[in-house]
Amino acid sequence: MAVKNLLKGWSAARAPDGPKAAPAADDAARRLALFEDIERASTGWFWATDREGHLSYISPGAAQRFGIDVAALLGKPVAALFETDPDDQAERSGRPLQFILGAHARLADVTVRLIPALAGEGAPPAWWALSGQARLDAAGAFSGYRGSARDITTEYERQTQDSRAAEYDSLTGLANRHRIVRRLDQVLAAYRQTGQPCALVLLDLDRFKAVNDTLGHQAGDELLRQVGARLTKVVGKRGEIGRLGGDEFQIVLPGIDDRGKLGELADRIIGALSLPYELAGDRAVIGASLGMAIAPFDGGDRDDLTRAADLALYAAKHGGRGVFRFYSADLRDEKDERRQLEDDVRAAVASLFEGGDCPQLDLRYQPVVRLSDHRVMGFEALLRWERPDCGEISPEMFVPVAEDIGLIGLLGGWVLRRACADAAAWPLDVRVAVNVSAVQFADPAFPAEVADVLESTGLAPERLELELTEAVFMGDSHSTDAAFKALKALGVRLTLDDFGTGFSSLSYLRSAPFDKLKVDRSFVETCTLQDQNSARIIAAIIGLADALGMETTVEGVEAFDQRDVVCARGAKQIQGFLYSAPLGQQAILDRIGAQTEPGAPLLIEPSGPDRHRPERRSVYRRVGLIHQDHRYNVLMRNLSATGALLEGIIGVPEGTGVVLDLGGGQLAVCTVSRSQDAEIAVEFETALVSDGARGLVTRHRASPAALAAAARIPRVSTPQFLEVETRKPR
Ligand code: C2E
Ligand code: MG
Ligand code: MG
């Protein structure tokens, strides 16, 4: 019936009354039958609206396809019933349906769907290609739409899948390289006009390869999926995440230049990705390194910005991993320095095996002393490197390099053999502790190497302590457990070093057979502070170890007040400068030889300052001090997050507002809090934030364009203060 009405109007519109009225009636009947066939076969549907754009007809089959009653649709504005594909619109800037209908324009295969809230419950998604034309009445006024529709759901879904595959990473569901790169281009282009910032983060997983190699690709894929999910959770709506391939990710964060906030976000990302992963029955732990660069400060276009973020990532990976770094201009030099360092480490390790007279690397032994009677219980072997033309370099700096260039096995093996041989030569029954890198520990051949060294040096296994850090739990749990078992079977002792600085997960303590915990030096450094937080943590760690039947050593005790605090908090063994710095093998033999009673235990009396003085971070850097429109050159002597000490300017009254130019667009607004002779102390209005590598940076920076504009402003007034020659750095 309804179709008849529809066709009545339709044929009337096409075949106006005229002499051929009778054949037209036959024609109309034939058409009616044809239309009804089409509707029944569901190959096409028809629809019409009145002059207000309200739906006046829709094929019943179409309504059924939506799981909805025809009556529920009739009389409603078409624009309120259907919508175009929102993604499609955003991508191809197609016009919304409402717009087309409002303009009475022709609809030619417009992809629409019933507004999801209207579709019947459980109705499958249905997409239509909607066509139609506006009808005009005799007076030329719009009298409604009339048109047809086709179900294109299958076609549409296949197309969307294809375009998803072209844009998204099938493994993690994150944007793929193609999409994220385009997104960065889009954001940078849009923001260039308005001068808004945009941060780019490059992220690389640490030790992903180890998990992939040991647990297999399926576990590796699952791990990447979980990484993607964790990243999405932390980053949220702040930006878009893409996977560039392998274990590399990129995050585009439009509108952010606050390095404080970025640093916090980076810390949260590192924290989230470093939590253990459950992979089909296996447990794995990995880490993440992040490099960050911000447009327009570090680069204006995609290439420059990506290069900057890449350099920062490189620095993060080589700065100990599990950290973030911001780009800064000196990273370019750092890359060259790093290459030089790698070459020098290679030469140093080679010097151990070349049989020359003076290898560049050597071992020192630092005594571990029992507090109650000052008796030496053991020595920790510590590597020393005399780098040609540079002096002594910290093992904290070169051990990670040796790990990266694949030489740690060789170097660590040498340390183990040498320390065991030296200890076997001590005429005392004390232990020797050897630091073992996580990379060295992960080598399945390591336990056999330990067995071999014990046998060839003749050292009793219970005299050897292997110091491991929580990094050994990185990677998969099976091989870690197997290594623990094999080492325990040899009878050596296992120590967990630097406890309290990493994950400090209690589950490790339960599952791994440690004999001792070493309380990290950082707690001792702050244990005499008023708030007593570090002192309490030391007490808690010692209590925990006691409860688990483990020994403890407290590291880094330098002064008597620290000794008193840790002693009151339950420490029984101490290692620190208060008792002794690390000693050479000859010095140890001499000390033992000087004992009045041969074979008697070795005792060391403490000696050192009464009180611990916290180290101030000294810097010697030329910086600019801006007051009104003058820039003075001053020497920065020290810097903290809240202020700085400057030298080289006379006559600045306390309370003066100045701007400190720390370079690279870093301008810190500050107030002079103290002024004496040529030295002034300033306090920052906004505290500086960490650069991820023990340095400090301003949260925001002035853009290169603003700096260039400022440089063009002519100086008008005469300087108010006197710039003076500074003394040579102390
Ligand atoms: P660690 O194992 O925690 O070693 C203790 C570090 O604290 C040593 O630094 C030691 O010299 C220092 N120390 C001891 N007492 C005090 C003190 O009272 N005050 C201060 N400020 N420091 C104190 P060192 O020798 O520079 O070694 C640093 C780190 O390098 C070691 O930390 C260890 O993780 C690593 N390392 C050293 N030798 C080796 C090695 O042969 N193999 C491996 N894999 N790592 C090593
Ligand atoms: Mg150690
Ligand atoms: Mg330690």
Q: What is the spatial distance between Cα 9 and Cα 17, in angstroms, rounded to a whole number?
A: 12
Q: With contact defined as beta carbons under 8 Å apart, do 497 and 467 qualify?
A: yes
- pLDDT of 509 reads 81
CA–centroid distance, 519 to ligand 3, in Å, is 7
- CA 123–ligand 3 middle distance (angstroms): 63
Q: Identify the pLDDT of residue 530.
A: 77
Name the 3-class secondary structure at 72: helix
SS (H, E, C) 321-347: CCCEEECCCCHHHHHHHHHHHHHHHHH
In degrees to the nearest 10, what's the CA dihedral of 526, 531, 534, 535? 100
3-state secondary structure of 88: helix
Does ligand 1 lie within 6 Å of residue 413's CB atom? no
Would you say 581 and 366 are in contact if contact means Cβ atoms under 8 Å apart? yes
Q: Which element (helix H / strand E) includes 525?
A: helix 521-525
What does the CA dihedral 703, 705, 708, 712 come to, rounded to 10 degrees? -120
Best residue among 387, 435, 561, 604 to mutate for probing ligand 1's pocket (most ligand atoms within 8 Å of CB) is 435
* Contacts with 156 (C-beta within 8 Å, 6 or more apart), sequence order: 111, 127
How confident is the model over 211-236, as a mean pLDDT? 93
**Residue carrying structure tokens 């992903």:** 208
pLDDT of res. 13:
40
What pLDDT does residue 89 have?
45
Which structure tokens are listed for 135?
């009808």
For residue 419, report the distance from its CA to the centre of ligand 2, in Å: 13
Atom of ligand 1 nearest to the CA of 558: 18
Can you list the alpha helix ranges (DSSP code H) found in 378-437?
Answer: 395-404, 408-424
Neighbours of ion ligand 3 (CB under 5 A): 497-498
Alpha-helix residue ranges (DSSP H) falling in 59-152: 60-65, 70-73, 78-81, 86-92, 97-102
Q: Which ligand sits closest to the CA of 500?
A: 3
How many alpha carbons fall within 13 Å on the CB side of residue 415?
30
CATH number of 617-716: 2.40.10.220
- DSSP sequence for 203-254: EEEESHHHHHHHH-HHHHHHHHHHHHHHHHHHHGGG-EEEEEETTEEEEEEE
Q: Give domain 42-158's CATH superfamily.
A: PAS domain (3.30.450.20)
Ligand 1 and 582: CB distance under 6 A: yes
Best CA proximity match to 299, nearest among 703, 695, 688? 703
Task: Give me ligand 1 centre to Cα 366, in Å.
Answer: 9
Ligand 1 contacts CB of residue 521 (under 6 A): yes
At 166, the pLDDT band (50, 70, 90 cuts) reads confident
- The per-residue pLDDT for range 167-190, each reduced to its tens digit, is 999 999 999 999 999 999 999 998
Ligand 3 centroid, distance to 498 Cα (angstroms): 4
* Per-residue confidence (pLDDT) for residue 617, from 0 to 100: 63
């005790």: which residue's tokens? 557
Copy the structure tokens of residue 529. 């502070």
Buried b (16+ CB within 10 A) or exposed e, 101-119: beeeeebeebbbbbeeebb
**Whole-structure pTM value:** 0.66
Q: Nearest ligand, CA of residue 382?
A: 1
Q: The sheet that has 277-279: what strands, in order across it?
A: 277-279, 282-285, 475-476
395: Cβ below 6 Å to ligand 1?
yes
Asked if residue 560 lies in contact with residue 585, where contact means CB atoms within 8 angstroms, the answer is no
Determine which residue's CA is closest to atom 26 belonging to ligand 1: 394
Looking up tokens 């019943």 gives: 60
Q: Which of 286, 260, 257, 262 is nearest to 274 (CA)?
A: 286
Enter the tokens of residue 234: 């932390």
The pLDDT of residue 649: 92
Task: Give the chain's mean pLDDT.
Answer: 87
Per-residue pLDDT reduced to its tens digit, 421-475:
999 999 889 999 999 999 999 999 999 999 999 999 999 999 999 999 988 887 7
- d(CA 502, ligand 3 centre) in Å: 12
CB-ligand 1 contact for 576 (6 Å cutoff): yes
Query: Which of 521, 562, 580 is the best mutation target for the ligand 1 pocket, counting ligand atoms within 8 Å of the beta carbon and taking the most?
Result: 521
User: What is the rounded distance in angstroms from the CA atom of residue 646 to the CA atom of residue 639?
Assistant: 9
Q: Is residue 1 pLDDT above 80, yes or no? A: no
By the 10 Å C-beta count (0-12 exposed, 13-18 middle, 19+ buried), 39 is classed as middle
CATH-assigned architecture of domain 168-327:
2-Layer Sandwich (3.30)
Output the CA 287–ligand 2 centroid distance in Å: 21
- From the CB of 250, is ligand 1 less than 6 Å away? no
CATH level 2 (architecture), domain 337-587: Alpha-Beta Barrel (3.20)
Please tell me if the CB atom of residue 465 comes closer than 6 angstroms to any atom of ligand 1: no
How far is 59 from 570, CA to CA, in rounded Å? 85
The encoded tokens of residue 597 equal 């009673």
Rounded Cα distance between 50 and 145, Å, is 7
Q: Using CA atoms in the order 168, 173, 174, 178, what is the torsion angle rounded to 10 degrees?
A: -10
What sections of 526-630 are H helices per DSSP? Answer: 533-547, 560-568, 585-593
CB 112 within 8 A of CB 127: yes
Residue nearest to atom 5 of ligand 1 (CA): 555
Distance 355 CA to ligand 2 centre (A): 27
Compare 57 and 319 and report the one with higher pLDDT: 57
Phi, psi values for residue 109, rounded to 5°: 50, 50
Is 437 a pocket residue for ligand 1 (Cβ < 6 Å)?
yes
Asked whether the predicted pLDDT for residue 11 surpasses 60, the reply is no
Strand partners, 625: 632, 660
Q: What is the atom index within ligand 1 of the atom nearest the CA of 394?
A: 26
End-to-end CA distance of the chain: 101
CB 558 near ligand 1, within 6 Å: yes
Question: Is 121 in a helix, a strand, or coil?
Answer: coil
Confidence of residue 159 (pLDDT cuts 50, 70, 90): confident
Ligand 1 atom 23, closest CA: 556
110-129 pLDDT, tens digit each: 888 888 777 767 777 788 88
435 alpha carbon to ligand 2 midpoint, in Å?
5
Identify the band that residue 308 occupies on the pLDDT scale cut at 50, 70 and 90. Answer: very high
- The pLDDT assigned to 310 comes to 95
* 403 within ligand 1 shell (Cβ under 6 A): no
396 lines ligand 1 (CB under 6 A): yes
Domain boundaries, the chain: 42-158, 168-327, 337-587, 617-716
Please report the atom of ligand 1 found closest to the CA of residue 436. Answer: 44
